[in-house]
Amino acid sequence: MRAFHITSFESPPKIVECPVPTPGPGQIRLRIHACGLNFADLLMMTGRYQDTPALPFTLGMEVAGTVDAIGPDTEAPAVGTRVAVFGGHGGLAEYGCFDAARAVVLPDAMDDVSAAAFQIAYGTSHVALDHKARLQPGETLLVLGAAGGVGLTAVEIGKLMGARVIACARGADKLSVAKAAGADHLIDAKTDDIRETCRALGGVDVIYDPVGGDQFTAAFRACRPEARILSIGFASGEVPQIPANHLLVKNISVMGLYWGGYLAFRPEVVTGSLATLLDWHRAGRITPHVSHTYSLDQASDALALLRARKSTGKVVVTVS
- Tens-place pLDDT, residues 169-209: 999 999 999 999 999 999 999 999 999 999 999 999 999 99
User: How distant is the alpha carbon of residue 300 from its chain centre?
Assistant: 19
Question: CB of 252 within 8 A of CB of 227?
Answer: yes
Both 68 and 110 in a single domain? yes
The answer to whether residue 294 is domain-embedded is: yes
Q: Is 0.85 surpassed by the pTM of this model?
A: yes
Considering 216, 245, 260, which residue would you say is the last residue of a domain? 260
Considering 242, 260, 278, which residue would you say is the last residue of a domain? 260
Q: Is the pLDDT of residue 320 over 90?
A: no
Q: What percent of the chain has pLDDT over 90?
A: 98
Both 105 and 132 in a single domain? no
Both 101 and 127 in a single domain? no
The answer to whether residue 148 is domain-embedded is: yes
Both 111 and 172 in a single domain? no
What mean pLDDT do residues 114-142 have? 98
Both 112 and 198 in a single domain? no
Residue 108: count other Cβ atoms within 10 Å of its Cβ. 7
Both 97 and 202 in a single domain? no
Both 171 and 221 in a single domain? yes
Amino acid at 2: R
What mean pLDDT do residues 105-127 have? 96
Both 255 and 303 in a single domain? no
Question: CB of 252 within 8 A of CB of 226?
Answer: yes
Q: What is the pLDDT of residues 36-47, one digit of tens each?
A: 999 999 999 999
Q: Is the pLDDT of residue 280 over 90?
A: yes
Phi-psi group of 281: left, alpha or beta (phi > 0 → left; psi -120 to 50 → alpha; rest → beta): alpha
Alpha-carbon distances, residue 36 vs 103, 121, 235 (angstroms):
15, 10, 17
Considering 216, 241, 260, which residue would you say is the last residue of a domain? 260
Mean pLDDT, rounded, of the chain: 96
Both 10 and 113 in a single domain? yes
Q: What is the pLDDT of residues 228-261, one digit of tens each?
A: 999 999 999 899 999 899 899 999 999 999 999 9
Buried b (16+ CB within 10 A) or exposed e, 22-48: ebeebbbbbbbbbbbbbbbbbbbbeee
Position 73 scores a pLDDT of: 94
Q: DSSP of 169-212, one letter per residue? A: ESSHHHHHHHHHTT-SEEEETTTS-HHHHHHHTT-EEEEEESS-
What mean pLDDT do residues 74-92 have? 97
Position 105 scores a pLDDT of: 96
Q: Is the pLDDT of residue 110 over 90?
A: yes
What mean pLDDT do residues 293-300 have? 97
The answer to whether residue 279 is domain-embedded is: no
Both 138 and 243 in a single domain? yes
User: Coil, helix or strand for 223?
Assistant: strand
Alpha-carbon distances, residue 226 vs 116, 194, 242, 250 (angstroms):
36, 19, 16, 6
CA atoms within 13 A of residue 231's CA, in its CB half-sphere = 16
The answer to whether residue 254 is domain-embedded is: yes
Q: What is the pLDDT of residues 53-70, one digit of tens each?
A: 999 999 999 999 999 999
Q: For position 184, which CATH number holds?
A: 3.90.180.10
Number of domains in the chain: 2
The answer to whether residue 269 is domain-embedded is: no
Position 136 scores a pLDDT of: 98
What mean pLDDT do residues 289-309 have? 96
What mean pLDDT do residues 147-161 have? 97
Read off φ and ψ for residue 103, nearest 5 degrees.
-75, 130
The answer to whether residue 53 is domain-embedded is: yes
Split at pLDDT 50, 70, 90, the class of 152 is very high
Q: What gap in Å lies between CA 199 and CA 319, rounded to an integer?
A: 46
Both 239 and 145 in a single domain? yes
The answer to whether residue 171 is domain-embedded is: yes
Question: CB of 154 within 8 A of CB of 130?
Answer: no
Question: Domain range for residue 80?
Answer: 2-118+288-318
Alpha-carbon distances, residue 170 vs 67, 144, 173, 192, 196 (angstroms):
40, 10, 8, 10, 17
Please tell me what DSSP assigns to residue 93. Answer: B
The answer to whether residue 276 is domain-embedded is: no
Both 244 and 150 in a single domain? yes
What mean pLDDT do residues 121-150 have? 98
